[in-house]
């Protein structure tokens, strides 16, 4: 055989073998599905200091890897909604963000991501506002004049922990940083003097709606819809109370049938509100994208 046909046969054999291997792997994966998800939940090195040692000057790139893992972890658990057994509780979110921000102390989005999503109540997040504050304090240690971190801590105290005194203090600290927006002193004063109300919450989320970060804007949009839902629930609750139960139970169908409502009311995301047949309590459905609703800050008396 001459050299050219020999090479052609060799290439054909190599391509055939490679094609066969790919086909066999696809068939094998179909026949024996792999539980790869369990492996991605492993965090071999939990110590940020140890991780810093082993990266040999490639800390920023390693921080990016941990950042991507944090997003996947958060997104995976959020979509999973706690999993079949409820075992998925974002347990790696804080360690991943902690390592990412230790490797790259200027990783702005990781601090702010942590502030919002660590504080989100379960199942939308781990419900750990304390860790959100810890992460943001770490950000302040790295960048002491970043007003956004003070603002985010204040927001966690206000929106998640309902500690309005602490929120007011942190808003004041945010206002005293260089380049802080001029609306911060007004918010700080509002916290201290009036505790808070829904209008203040709406105002603050509207400020975040102007953020340059798309994910902050999306979160602000969702929160504003939640506030709108809270307003609608108040109105619906009053209507239900006025109309009273039909045949001993509350139902949207009965209220529509009696002409009290023109149709089954839906929340701003388009999912019908729930109505408890015994208590008449109006709420957001667990299937709605607005669920879970925030524990509402204290209303102004």
**Positions in the binding site for other proteins (CB under 8 A):** 53, 56-61, 63-64, 67-68, 71-72, 104, 106, 108-109, 113, 211-215
We find the least distance from the C-beta atom of residue 216 to other proteins, in angstroms, to be 9
Distance CA(268)–CA(158), nearest Å, equals: 24
Residue placing its CB nearer to other proteins in the complex, 102 or 195: 102
We find the least distance from the C-beta atom of residue 58 to other proteins, in angstroms, to be 5
Residue placing its CB nearer to other proteins in the complex, 54 or 247: 54
Residue placing its CB nearer to other proteins in the complex, 103 or 282: 103
We find the least distance from the C-beta atom of residue 63 to other proteins, in angstroms, to be 8
Q: Print the SS3 string covering the chain.
A: CCHHHHHHHHHHHHHHHHHHHHHHHHHHHHHCCCCCHHHHCCCCCCCHHHHHHHCCCCHHHHHHHHHHHHHHHHHHHHHHCCCCCCCCCCCCHHHHHHHHHHHCCCCHHHHHHHHHHHHCCCCCCCCCHHHHHHHHHHHHHHCCCCHHHHHHHHHHHHHHCCCHHHHHHHHHHHHCCCCCCCCHHHHHHHHHHHCCCHHHHHHHHHHHCCCCCHHHHHHHHHHHHHHHHHHHHHHHHHHHHHHCCECCECCHHHHHHCCCCCCCCECCCCCECEECCCCCCEECCCCCCCCCCCCCCCCCC
Distance of CA 223 to the CA centre of its chain: 11
Packed helices 93-103 and 59-80: angle between N→C axes, nearest 10 degrees: 160
We find the least distance from the C-beta atom of residue 67 to other proteins, in angstroms, to be 7
Residue placing its CB nearer to other proteins in the complex, 177 or 251: 177
We find the least distance from the C-beta atom of residue 217 to other proteins, in angstroms, to be 9
Residue placing its CB nearer to other proteins in the complex, 67 or 164: 67
We find the least distance from the C-beta atom of residue 213 to other proteins, in angstroms, to be 5
Residue placing its CB nearer to other proteins in the complex, 146 or 255: 146
We find the least distance from the C-beta atom of residue 77 to other proteins, in angstroms, to be 15
Residue placing its CB nearer to other proteins in the complex, 151 or 200: 151
Residue placing its CB nearer to other proteins in the complex, 107 or 273: 107
Q: By C-alpha distance, which of 197, 193, 219, 191 is closest to 207?
A: 219
We find the least distance from the C-beta atom of residue 298 to other proteins, in angstroms, to be 33
Tell me if 260 sits within 8 A of 193, measured CB to CB. no
Buried b (16+ CB within 10 A) or exposed e, 284-295: beeebebbbbbe
């Amino acid at each position: 055989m001459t050299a050219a046909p020999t090479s052609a046969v060799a290439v054909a054999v190599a391509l055939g073998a490679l094609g066969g291997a790919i086909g066999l792997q696809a068939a094998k994966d179909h026949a024996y599905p792999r539980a790869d998800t369990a492996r991605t939940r492993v965090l071999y090195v939990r110590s940020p200091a140890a991780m810093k040692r082993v990266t040999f000057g490639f800390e920023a790139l390693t921080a990016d890897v941990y950042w991507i893992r944090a997003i996947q972890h958060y997104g995976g658990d959020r979509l999973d909604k706690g999993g079949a057994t409820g075992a998925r509780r974002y347990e790696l979110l804080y360690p991943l963000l902690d390592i990412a921000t230790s490797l790259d102390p200027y990783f702005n989005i990781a601090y702010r991501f942590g502030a919002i999503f660590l504080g989100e109540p379960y199942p939308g997040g781990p419900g750990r506002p304390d860790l959100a504050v810890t992460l943001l304090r770490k950000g302040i240690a790295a960048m002491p004049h970043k007003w956004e971190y003070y603002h985010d801590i204040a927001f966690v105290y206000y929106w998640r922990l309902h500690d309005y005194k602490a929120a007011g203090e942190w808003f004041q600290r945010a206002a005293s940083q260089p380049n802080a927006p001029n609306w911060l002193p007004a918010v700080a004063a509002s916290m201290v003097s009036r505790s808070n109300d829904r209008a203040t919450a709406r105002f603050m989320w509207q400020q975040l709606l102007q953020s340059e970060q798309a994910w902050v804007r999306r979160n602000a949009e969702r929160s504003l819809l939640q506030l709108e839902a809270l307003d609608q629930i108040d109105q619906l609750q009053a209507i239900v109370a006025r109309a009273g139960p039909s045949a001993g139970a509350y139902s949207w169908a009965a209220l529509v049938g009696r002409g009290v409502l023109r149709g089954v009311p839906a929340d701003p995301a388009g999912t019908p509100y729930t109505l408890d047949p015994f208590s008449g309590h109006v709420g957001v459905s667990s299937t709605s994208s607005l669920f879970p609703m925030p524990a509402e800050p204290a209303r102004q008396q």
